[in-house]
Structure formats: structure tokens, C-alpha cells
Structure 1
Amino acid sequence: MNPASNGGVFDPSTPNAARMYDYFLGGKDNLPVDRAAAEQVLKLVPEIPVGIRENRAFLCRAVRFLAEQGVRQFLDIGAGLPTQRNVHQVAAEYAPGSRTVYVDNDPQVLTHARALLQDSPQVLVAEGDLRRPEEILHDHEVRAHLDFDRPIAVLLLAIVHFIPDAEDPRGIVARLRDGLAPGSHLALSHVAVDERPQAAPAVERVYNRASAQFVARMSGEIAPFFDGLDLAEPGMVNLHEWRPDIPVVAPVLETVGSYFLCGVGRVR
């Protein structure tokens, strides 16, 4: 998602947050300007690619967990460019027949996703902006694809840190939560700057030039996003600590640090 989308005008001279994310993942859907901006960020926070890969791994484990809880509907907001092991692929592996909606407001993301997923009847790609959650919840195509009287899993992965405080991110998340049936879940991941707050202003400046305002938050500012939810064990933790498939070894802990938090909560 690019919260400051330019209304569909493609500008190859402006870095794009979704394409920067793709570059961090080792993808090919990025431009020289994206790579240059991403390299600036890497000089400040060189472990970002590890965190991005851990975020994708968390996505897979979270979707598997949600499928085990009986969830068969997934709403991925700020989905970004399609890559390997997307939500619908993981859901189909653990819960065949599941339905997925990908929402983004970036025209390039939407075009690419629709081209790749046009032959996937269980998947819908919809235009929407996290800053206007009611428009997503009441979109007629979304509601035709998902049954809002039944549990839905909403995924907000690496997206809320692009919503400034002035736009009330806590209220946005709460309105999404309140629009879901009991038994629904919300999965969220968010960069935290507890360990390296001094790097945050420079990272924010790079993303501001990419028309995607990055907001540096401490862990204490992230915890309230889970208010009103019953957090699944182990609660809000670092990505690599959330139900890992294998024990996390010390070198990984030293590399990743405590800067990318996540959790999965159940709607009461």
C-alpha cells in the first residue's frame, strides 16, 4: 500500500514503497529509483531484509494458525505486490476452499495482482485505502466475496506504520475490528524503533520522498492496536518469536533484534 498514492499517475522518478519492499525481498518488480532509495534505508538499518523475510514467514504461520481456528475468509489490506507464498496460497494449502480479498490503493499493485490472479476464482483484488476502513468494509464487491456474518481474518502486515498519528491509526484498526463478526481475527505487524531510535528520522525522510510516510513508533505505541482483542499466545512479540516452526537460535536473535513486532488477536 502507498498511503500517499498519486491517483494512478505513474512516476518513474519517485520511489514506491511497495517496490522497495519487493527489492528488500529480492524481487524483480522494482526500478532503479526504488533500489536507490532502498539502499539508503539499508545503510541506516542493514537488517531490514531479514525483518522483511521474517514478516513473510509470520504471514505464513499466522494464516496457518487462523486456518486451524476454522477461519476460511481472509482480508489482506495493504497487500502489496504479489510474491511467493501469498495469503491465498497458504490458505489453500491448509484450508482448501478459503476465500481471499487483497486490498491496495496503489495502481501498479492492483494491475499486477489482477493480471496474476485473474484465473483464481477464490481470490478478489479490490481497490481500497486503510485510512478509510468503512469503504473497504462496505464495498459491494468485497461483501459479495466475503460473508461478514461469519468470521473473517483481517491482515494488516507492515502497513500501519505508514499511517501517521494525525490520521488516528488506533481508531482505524478499532473500526475494522468493530466491523467484524465475533470469532474473527486480526493479524498485525509493525516496525518498532526501541533499539535504534536514532536511525528513525533518516528512515522517515527516505520514505517521505517515496510518497509513503513512515512513522517510527516504540513498542508501547504499538500495543494499543490490539486493544479489544484476545491475543493468541505468545501475545505481541518479535516476528521470529511468534509460534516459530523451529527454535530460534542466538545468531538470528542478534541479527533481527527487537524491532518488528506482531500479534494475532480474536474479536470478542
Structure 2
Amino acid sequence: MVGYDSMWEPGEPGVPADLRPEIPHPARMYDYYLGGKDNFPSDRAAAERALAANPEFRSTARANRAFLTRAVRSVAAAGIDQFLDIGTGIPTAGNTHQIAQAVDPGARVVYVDNDPIVLAHARALMGGTAVGRTTVIQADLREPEKLLDAAEAEKLLDFDRPVGLVLAAVLHFVPDHQRPYDAVRTLLDVLAPGSHLVLSHGTADFIPAAVRDRVTGVYDRATAPLVGRTREEVGAFLDGLEVLDPGVVTVPLWRPEGTPEAGADRVSMYGAVARKA
């Protein structure tokens, strides 16, 4: 994939204004942590400041991607053949549609994001399989009713049947005053029984307060703040659902495929999968 840096430089006449390349964006910073090239100098500078405060950001991002692979594969293996992935971020290897369609070639996926650069890249990867279909829409998690209307308009998801709702590393960019718990509840209320929620969420449970403050200070100057929630606060997103084993754990400990590395229980990202009864 061609990186945006190879096409545009901040300040060039050809840069669309809505990309806001001069302001760091969490999705583009995350792409940088993962070694991607779809980011601007402002994103790289902010990401380096975050890494200077907490060098584990890069390994945490990779652990989260590995969790997503295991979790989506598990949900697809349980018979879910349609997915709603919100806040998908810059596409990299191992996207939700690739994981799900490796289990069920007919699986359908709707990606949702509110960032133009994410949408542009996601649309470039929407080939899917010969049977399964993927699409991407522009909508915002903070406006769940509008998001659901947009997803339904695509006629790719059948909300009368179970859906896999993926909220991977997105809710920690929604502060409490923007009512993230209400947004998740609104989404879940629409989904049919048997639907699954795949959730990962950043935490400051394992880092000193001074490190937390330095990291959040970096994101306060980006397009979205970073809100690290406790294990109990992350678990509250799953209220009323059947939380699958092993529960809410750090992402490397969610059904690992090998022996977790030392310190896996202190990675600053929780993950869980839950089922709607």
C-alpha cells in the first residue's frame, strides 16, 4: 500500500483540508506504533513523545492486533458471519474481514470510522472474497443511532441475526462526558441474541501516575484524548452480557496460542469477548 506521505506533505496544496495533517491523530499514531507508513510528521512526532513516556506503547499495539486476530477468529468459529467493526483505524495486515473470511469465506464486514485517511485506505482494501462482502462507512461511535442507520442503509448487515460487534482500542478515545457506556448500550440493544462483542481498551492500571500524565498530555494535543480505564470500568461495558472465558484480562492473556511472555499480565490494554443472551 502506498503511504500518504509519499503522495502529500503537510502544507502542500494537494492535501485535503479535512485530513488535518498538522494535528496528530490517534489512528495515524497507532499506525506508526505498528510500523506503518500512513502517517504525517505531526503523528510521528507525537507518537515518539508518547513512546518516550511509555516505551511499551509499541508492544502494546502489537499485542492488541494479535488479540483482535484471536478474538475475531473465535467469534467467527462460533458461527457469526457478519461483523460491525467500529473505529477500525488504518488498515494493516490481519484486518477483521481477512480474519473472519479465513474462517467463513462468506462472512460480511462493515467498517466504520470518522477519519478521512482511514476511510480512504479502508476502501482500497474492500475486495473481500468471492463470496463475502466488505464495505466502509463514515460515522461516529459517539452518535450510535446515526451510525446504526448508516450501517443498515448499506444492507450488508441483517440485524435480525447475530452480529459480531468489534470495538478494538477505540473506547479509550471517548471521555466519560461523551457517554461511551450509553453508546455501547445503544449498539448492543439493537443486536440480536447470540451477538458477540469483541472489546479492547487501554488502561493505566500498571503505570505510574507521572507516566500516565505525560502520555495523556500528548493525546490532549491530538484530535482525541486518551482515557485509560480500570479493569472494573472496562468490565462495565460488558454489563448484562455473558463474558466468555477467561474474562477481562490483559490482551496477551486472552486465549493465548503459546506461552505468554513475562510481564504479559501488566500490558496496558485489557481485552474481552462477551455474548448477548
Tell me which amino acid in the other structure corresponds to 2:73.
R
Per-residue deviation at 1:11?
A: 2.4
State whether residues 137 and 143 of structure 1, in contact with CA within 8 Å, keep that contact through their aligned partners in structure 2.
no
Aligned pairs (5 A) from 1:157-196? 157-196=168-207
The yes-or-no answer on 1:224 pairing with 2:213 is no
Tell me which amino acid in the other structure corresponds to 1:51.
T
Per-residue deviation at 1:132?
A: 0.8
Query: Paired residue for 2:19, among 1, 4, 10?
Result: 10
Tell me which amino acid in the other structure corresponds to 2:270.
L
The whole-number CA distance in structure 2 between the counterparts of 1:237 and 1:255 is 10
Higher alpha-carbon deviation: 58-67 or 115-124: 115-124
The whole-number CA distance in structure 2 between the counterparts of 1:10 and 1:157 is 22
Query: Paired residue for 1:150, among 157, 161, 172?
Result: 161
* Cα deviations by residue, 1:44-90 (Å, 9 ceiling, x for unpaired): 11111111111111111011101111000011000011110100001
* Cα deviations by residue, 1:19-46 (Å, 9 ceiling, x for unpaired): 1000000111112211110010001111
- Equivalent pairs counted in the alignment come to 259
Residue of structure 2 equivalent to 1:254: 263
Unaligned runs of 5+ in 2: 1-15
Q: What RMSD over aligned residues (CA atoms) do the two structures have, in Å? A: 1.7
Distance change (3 Å), C-alpha of 1:171 and 1:102: same
Distance change (3 Å), C-alpha of 1:194 and 1:140: closer
Tell me which amino acid in the other structure corresponds to 1:243.
R
Tell me which amino acid in the other structure corresponds to 2:141.
L
Tell me which amino acid in the other structure corresponds to 2:255.
R
State whether residues 110 and 151 of structure 2, in contact with CA within 8 Å, keep that contact through their aligned partners in structure 1.
no
The whole-number CA distance in structure 2 between the counterparts of 1:8 and 1:170 is 32
Tell me which amino acid in the other structure corresponds to 2:214.
A
Distance change (3 Å), C-alpha of 1:172 and 1:8: farther
The whole-number CA distance in structure 1 between the counterparts of 2:151 and 2:20 is 31
Percent sequence identity is 47
State whether residues 168 and 198 of structure 2, in contact with CA within 8 Å, keep that contact through their aligned partners in structure 1.
yes
What TM-score do the two structures reach when normalised by structure 2?
0.89
The yes-or-no answer on 1:131 pairing with 2:142 is yes
Tell me which amino acid in the other structure corresponds to 1:217.
R
Tell me which amino acid in the other structure corresponds to 1:156.
L
Residue of structure 1 equivalent to 2:253: 241
What TM-score do the two structures reach when normalised by structure 1?
0.92
Tell me which amino acid in the other structure corresponds to 1:50.
S
What SS does the corresponding residue of 1:124 show, helix, strand or coil?
Answer: strand
What SS does the corresponding residue of 2:160 show, helix, strand or coil?
Answer: coil
State whether residues 50 and 256 of structure 1, in contact with CA within 8 Å, keep that contact through their aligned partners in structure 2.
no
Residue of structure 2 equivalent to 1:3: none
The whole-number CA distance in structure 2 between the counterparts of 1:235 and 1:255 is 15
Unaligned runs of 5+ in 1: 1-6
State whether residues 204 and 213 of structure 1, in contact with CA within 8 Å, keep that contact through their aligned partners in structure 2.
yes
Tell me which amino acid in the other structure corresponds to 2:187.
L
State whether residues 40 and 206 of structure 1, in contact with CA within 8 Å, keep that contact through their aligned partners in structure 2.
yes
Distance change (3 Å), C-alpha of 1:68 and 1:8: farther
The yes-or-no answer on 1:95 pairing with 2:129 is no
What SS does the corresponding residue of 1:114 show, helix, strand or coil?
Answer: helix
Distance change (3 Å), C-alpha of 1:8 and 1:242: farther
* Cα deviations by residue, 1:196-251 (Å, 9 ceiling, x for unpaired): 14122221121121111111222222110110110111011110110111121xxx
Structure 1 residue runs of 4+, over 6 Å off?
Answer: none
